[in-house]
């Protein structure tokens, strides 16, 4: 059984207390994990602030080379990293491998971005009194970044915090999710091997509710980046003051299916979007609005494809759906299903559950105010809802407090462009599912889905400050 400490100033710091980390699939104890304290946070932030003054002087070339080394080490250790992820998150092994591949790409994008961020020249003589002057902007690292990450993508969402920060010379104090600290801990070792200076990365494990305030309100923290629940995100935003902040919060992502699209060519992809990682994905496909002309055909095909999914041990190569992150989450979502059934909804397939797993569940005859529709389910559940006109479907999509990703399948160009213009979301995906994401595209939401954008280039913009410089050329 593994014992883990706190990663502070380039070495392990023995904790005063630990907690048991249990596998979501079978409850087996995987490790005793350090439970950090507020004092540990203070030490980590002080170390990160001190390290910043030297790390910001690294050349872009050196920062990029360090990140490329991380990429190479991760490639060599891919299978080991995938198994760590499968064990601590309950993510099927083939899905875990895909996440590690994406994480490698994120660090590679970060290495490339280290050499790309730049300022611009300003035509000073365009304004009265600006003659004989030149002006330009530059982007500078801001300092200590406090990063708080969730359980569902513990390698890649950490990479979206660390990679852009290190690309421009910032330092990071990372608080990984309580359930998935091992992936962050192994990255500390990898960064050390790649040559990251001591103190640039600090890792504090433990309770978010106990540590959050000290992580976000310390005067040396210049930026907070958080991925997690809406209530916690709102609380953080109220407390950060004038610091920079990025919040990636909840969603109930929707898809519109128009009758011009061949159902047999899209249904498997839709099932993947609804049930990947047991639906525990911020942009998991939760609401499918299908034109009434093809609704019954779509439901039948979707149910048949769903029944092919294998629910089981995440370390089994054949498993498509692993466990939910905690038994409490199973209890919560089963109660939501039962509530929907009492209000008239029908389970087309699935609904069966054990203490730790829920069979992929398709709901029909739902209403917009049911929790399984209007809230974020974060579970392997999807609702299929008929509509008559495209305007009606767009209205359904927009009738949500969330606005992260949304999507439409259509072969009619004008309908695609209308949806792109009228759907209220951070991203509109045409002819694919809303679960689609690459790691260099801008990613973030509107409404209660968040604030700011990730995606390496866009995260870099949020992790730098612009400085303007002007010089008079003639005395």
The catalytic residues are 248, 282
DSSP summary character for residue 126: G
**Torsions phi, psi for 340 (to 5 deg):** -65, -40
Residue whose entry in the numeric block shows the structure tokens 């604030």: 451
Determine contact, residues 240/216, Cβ cutoff 8 Å: yes
DSSP state of 443: B
Strands 464-472 and 254-257: unpaired
Give the closest residue to 48 by CA, choosing from 178, 197, 183, 182. Answer: 197
Tokens at residue 409, please?
A: 């399948």
Tokens of 48: 């990160």
Contact call for residues 61 and 4 (beta carbons, < 8 A): no
Two tokens, residue 390: 């495209």
- Evaluate whether 441 touches 454 at the Cβ level (below 8 Å): no
State whether residue 451 is helix, strand or coil: strand
**Spatial separation of the C-alpha atoms in residues 3 and 20, rounded to whole Å:** 10
Both tokens of residue 187?
A: 């990255």
């Amino acid at each position: 059984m593994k014992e883990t400490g706190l990663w502070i100033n380039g070495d392990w710091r023995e904790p005063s207390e630990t907690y048991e980390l249990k596998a979501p699939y079978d409850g087996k104890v995987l490790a005793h994990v350090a439970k950090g304290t507020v004092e540990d946070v203070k030490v980590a932030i002080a170390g990160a602030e001190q390290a910043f003054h030297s790390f910001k002087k690294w050349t872009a070339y050196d920062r990029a080379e360090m990140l490329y080394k991380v990429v190479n080490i991760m490639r060599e250790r891919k299978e080991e990293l995938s198994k760590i992820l499968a064990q601590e998150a309950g993510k099927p092994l083939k899905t875990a491998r895909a996440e590690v591949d994406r994480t490698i790409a994120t660090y590679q994008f970060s290495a490339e971005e280290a050499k790309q961020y730049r300022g611009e020249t300003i035509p000073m003589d365009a304004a009265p009194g600006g003659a004989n002057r030149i002006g330009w902007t530059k982007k500078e690292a801001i300092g200590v970044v406090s990063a708080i990450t969730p359980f569902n993508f513990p390698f890649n969402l950490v990479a979206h915090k660390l990679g852009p920060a290190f690309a421009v010379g910032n330092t990071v104090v990372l608080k990984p999710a309580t359930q998935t600290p091992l992936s962050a801990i192994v990255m500390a070792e990898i960064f050390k091997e790649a040559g990251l200076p001591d103190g640039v990365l600090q890792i504090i494990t433990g309770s978010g509710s106990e540590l959050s305030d000290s992580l976000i309100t310390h005067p040396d923290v210049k930026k907070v980046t958080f991925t997690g629940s809406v209530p916690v995100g709102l609380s953080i935003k109220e407390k950060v003051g004038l610091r920079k902040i990025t919040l990636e919060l909840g969603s109930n992502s929707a898809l519109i299916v128009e009758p011009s699209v061949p159902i047999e060519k899209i249904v498997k992809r839709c099932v993947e979007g609804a049930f990947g990682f047991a639906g525990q994905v911020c942009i998991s496909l939760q609401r499918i609005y299908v034109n009434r002309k093809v609704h019954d055909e779509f439901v039948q095909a979707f149910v048949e494809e769903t029944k092919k999914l294998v629910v089981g041990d995440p370390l089994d190569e054949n498993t498509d759906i692993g466990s939910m992150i905690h038994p409490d989450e199973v209890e919560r979502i089963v109660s939501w299903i039962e509530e929907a059934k009492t209000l008239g909804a029908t389970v087309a397939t699935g609904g069966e559950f054990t203490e730790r797993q829920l069979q992929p569940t398709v709901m029909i005859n739902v209403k917009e105010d049911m929790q399984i529709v209007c809230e974020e389910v974060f579970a392997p559940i999807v609702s299929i809802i008929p509509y008559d006109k495209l305007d009606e479907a767009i209205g359904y999509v927009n009738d949500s407090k969330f606005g992260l990703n949304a999507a439409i399948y259509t072969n009619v160009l004008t309908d695609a462009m209308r949806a792109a213009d009228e759907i209220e979301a951070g991203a509109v995906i045409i002819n694919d599912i809303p679960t689609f994401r690459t790691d260099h595209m801008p990613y973030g939401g509107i409404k209660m889905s968040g604030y700011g954008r990730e995606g390496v280039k866009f995260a870099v913009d949020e992790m730098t400050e612009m400085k303007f410089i002007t010089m008079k050329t003639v005395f």
